[in-house]
Amino acid sequence: MWEFVTGLISGTVSGTGMGGGTILILVLSIFLGVEQHIAQATNLVFFVPTSISAIIISIKSKLIEWKIGIVLAITGIIGAIIGANISAKIEVKSLKRYFGIFLAGIAIYEIYSMIKEYKKEKYSNNKN
């Protein structure tokens, strides 16, 4: 049951372009007790079909900047090969720590962005 709910939520978040794989990895590793390496590899299997679905809809909606997308895809493939080789050699405990640091960094950035946007809106509303 958890797998179904997790897949549905992660797929929905992935479709919006916000990284449903992060949710998937958290649920697999924390709630389902899956080892970090396996959770991250499972995320990669999840990523391909959800990405293809989102790409098809984005193409139909004409939301893709092809020049940028192709460059990102090529360099992303190279980075994925490098990252997968590095990940396979890292201990589970260290990998969990690095993933946590990565998530904390994203959270800090998002909070900072929200505060910055709030101040910008507040300033522009006070100016009028």
pLDDT at 5 over 80: yes
Mean pLDDT, rounded, for 83-109: 89
pLDDT digits 0-9 by tens, 49-77:
888 888 899 999 999 999 999 999 999 99
User: Average of pLDDT values for 36-59?
Assistant: 87
Token reading at 126 = 């006070």
AA letter at 68: I
CA atoms within 13 A on the CB side of 69: 8
Q: What are phi and psi of 19, to 5 degrees?
A: 85, 60
pLDDT score of 70: 94
* Neighbouring residues of 11: CB distance < 8 A, sequence distance ≥ 6: 20, 46, 50
Instruction: Return d(Cα 65, Cα 23) in angstroms, integer.
Output: 27
Residue reference for tokens 């924390």:
30
Global pTM value: 0.63
CB 21 within 8 A of CB 7: no
What tokens appear for 78 in the block? 């190279």
